[in-house]
């Protein structure tokens, strides 16, 4: 088992996919602390974090055994993405389980426009703004467009973006900043109102 400790994550995944359980033990030991910390920081509950941690590795095991792990050189980002999705599922389930009784509040929650669905006009304005934003994105330099799409459309963290694009976190943050500045400039030049 000690001979495997010098192998990179992708080599260990290949060995595990071929049936070598020691390789997975090394992967688990290598990433368990940072992964658990990430989960715990997100949910702030030790029992929930333990459950999500276990489920993350169960999903990883299943996906590797089914040959659904594609070698990208980013095992850590891949397993963090699995955990991230499970955390989102947890919060969605929590949200769905919360019920509101109108009797507990002085104001009428169910007939308050602040809590109601948007009007047709607002939906049209939002759709137009989204359309304008998509047009503006096409005019950005490739590196800025890539970071912006990963952040807002793939919901990736700047750490994951940096890992995926092979740049530092500061470079990824800088590209995002310039993307937003360029989009504001383009919006002003074309007299687009991106606020509803």
The pLDDT score that the predictor gives to residue 195 is: 55
Among candidate residues 74, 97, 120, the one where a domain is terminated? 97
Question: What residue has token string 């049936």?
Answer: 19
Q: Taking the model in full, what pTM does it have? A: 0.50
Query: Which structural domain range is residue 131 located in?
Result: 107-189
Are 80 and 113 part of one and the same domain?
no
DSSP secondary structure string for all residues of 159-189: HHHHHHHTS-HHHHHHHHHHHHHHHHHHHHH
The pLDDT score that the predictor gives to residue 49 is: 92
Among candidate residues 59, 78, 97, the one where a domain is terminated? 97
Are 22 and 92 part of one and the same domain?
yes
Task: Write out the two tokens for 5.
Answer: 């400790």
Are 93 and 9 part of one and the same domain?
yes
Number of separate domains in the chain: 2
Asked if residue 119 belongs to a domain, the reply is yes
Are 26 and 111 part of one and the same domain?
no
CATH of the domain at 115: 1.10.10.10
Residue 62 CB neighbours (<10 A): 10
Asked whether 76 and 163 are in contact (CB, 8 A), the reply is yes
The pLDDT score that the predictor gives to residue 117 is: 57
The pLDDT score that the predictor gives to residue 65 is: 86
Are 24 and 70 part of one and the same domain?
yes
The pLDDT score that the predictor gives to residue 50 is: 92
Are 113 and 137 part of one and the same domain?
yes
Question: From the first residue on, what is the mean pLDDT of each consecutive set of 10 residues in the chain (196 residues)?
Answer: 84 89 90 90 90 90 85 83 90 74 52 56 68 76 84 80 86 84 79 60
Pairwise CA distance, residues 90 & 93, whole Å: 5
């Amino acid at each position: 088992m000690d001979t495997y400790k010098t192998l990179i994550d992708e080599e260990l995944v290949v060995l595990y996919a071929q049936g070598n359980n020691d390789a997975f033990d090394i992967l688990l030991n290598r990433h368990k602390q940072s992964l658990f910390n990430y989960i715990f920081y997100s949910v702030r509950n030790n029992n929930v974090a333990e459950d999500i941690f276990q489920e993350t590795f169960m999903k990883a095991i299943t996906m590797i055994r089914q040959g659904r792990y594609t070698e990208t050189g980013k095992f850590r980002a891949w397993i963090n993405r699995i955990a991230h999705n499970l955390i989102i599922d947890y919060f969605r389930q929590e949200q769905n389980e919360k019920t509101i009784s109108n009797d507990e509040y002085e104001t009428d929650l169910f007939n308050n426009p602040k809590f109601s669905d948007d009007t047709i006009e607002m939906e049209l304005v939002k759709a137009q703004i989204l359309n304008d934003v998509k047009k503006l994105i096409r005019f950005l330099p490739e590196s800025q467009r890539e970071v912006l799409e990963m952040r807002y459309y793939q919901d990736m963290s700047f750490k994951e973006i940096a890992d995926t694009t092979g740049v530092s976190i500061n470079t990824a943050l800088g590209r995002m900043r310039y993307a937003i500045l360029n989009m504001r400039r383009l919006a002003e030049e074309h007299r687009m109102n991106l606020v509803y």
